[in-house]
Amino acid sequence: MLKFIVRRIISLLIILWLVSFLTFLLLQVIPGDPAQLILGIEASPEALGSLRARLGLDKPWPLRYLHWLAGMMRGDMGISIRLERPVSSLIAERLPVTLSLAVMAMLIALIIAFPAGILSAVKWNSPLDYFILFASQVGIAIPSFWIGILLILTFSLYLRLLPTGGFISWGKNPLEALRHLLLPATSLGLVTAAFLTRMLRSSMLEVLSQAYITMARAKGLAKFQVIFRHALKNALIPVATLAGVQIGFLMGGSIVIEQVFALPGLGRLLLSAVYTRDIPLIQGLVMFMTTMVVASNLLVDILYAYLDPRIRFE
């Protein structure tokens, strides 16, 4: 098990390095001069040159990459060009919003997907199975921001039950924080639930057709025991992998959802950094969000190895 974890950590570190290199390289070829954006088009060449030197933009990009990478390894993400604040402090301010959104969306997805996927498999070829399949296909087809807009129109503007957006700190008022996050989290969670439901249904159907399940039924075990004690654990193996992939979707989807619901999270901060070409902030945010996704996938891989011991020896 330890060797498996070490191998996974090494491969994920290589992925992080590749992302850091590609991110830095792409930001060098994007048109636009950060110094020009800060000082304006009427700035003198002397002022532009002085600012480029202060920002380190006058050095060759390989040297800038090595300097930035060394800082990242020390935990120094640099200083935001526009906001003139450490990137790490900006991330720390916005992280609770995005993390709350992602966790709540995943909880909503699991609450919907588990009963729906199990029921669809148990009631295979029934009207309930067809309805769940149709609903999950609709959930996959509709973009999360469309779902968000529909939820705002229905629950905020028409029924006036929930706020249209914004964020309230959990420490100030937990109930209001929940009310403000319910619609955006549901927008993300419904799409994730659709994927997980179809995967769980497919996996459950495959497991329920195995010989050991037939043997368990022949022994007279109750249907509840057959499903939850014998079938579900093995059916969760591919679902756990898909859940890890969906964490990346939640991080990417939060960028759009935070704009729709005016949430001051990492996604909104990233879009703002892209608009202003705040290179240190873009690099820091991309690396931090990639690290979160990679760490989540590592945890899923460990869970996968626990559920299926054969994986450890591959």
User: Which one has a higher pLDDT value, 122 or 248?
Assistant: 122
pLDDT-wise least confident of 63-67, 136-140, 144-148, 217-221: 217-221
Greatest alpha-carbon pair distance for the chain in Å reads 86
pLDDT given at position 1: 64
User: Which one has a higher pLDDT value, 140 or 36?
Assistant: 140
pLDDT digit string, tens, across residues 215-251: 777 776 667 677 777 677 777 777 777 777 777 778 7
Helices in 142-278 by DSSP H: which ranges? Answer: 144-151, 174-208, 211-218, 223-225, 232-260, 266-276
pLDDT given at position 313: 47
pLDDT-wise least confident of 162-166, 215-219, 280-284, 304-308: 304-308
Is pTM beyond 0.75 here? Answer: yes
> Residue range 262-284: average pLDDT?
87
> Residue range 244-262: average pLDDT?
82
CB count within 10 Å of CB 152 equals 20
pLDDT digit string, tens, across residues 144-195: 889 999 999 999 888 888 888 888 888 888 898 899 999 999 999 999 999 9
pLDDT given at position 112: 93
Distances (CA, A) of 175 to 86, 107, 172: 32, 17, 9
Cβ(95)–Cβ(266) under 8 Å? yes
Cβ-proximal residues to 91 (8 Å cutoff; 6+ apart), any chain:
77, 266, 269, 284, 285, 288
pLDDT given at position 28: 75
> Residue range 113-139: average pLDDT?
89
Mean pLDDT, the chain, whole residue set: 82
pLDDT-wise least confident of 49-63, 116-130, 286-300: 49-63
pLDDT given at position 15: 87
DSSP 243-288: HHHHHHHHHHHHHHHHHHTT--SHHHHHHHHHHHT-HHHHHHHHHH
Amino acid at site 272: S
pLDDT digit string, tens, across residues 74-101: 878 888 888 888 888 999 999 999 989 9
> Residue range 102-123: average pLDDT?
90
DSSP state of 86: B
pLDDT given at position 10: 85
Domains and CATH numbers, the chain: 2-73 (no CATH), 87-313 (1.10.3720.10)
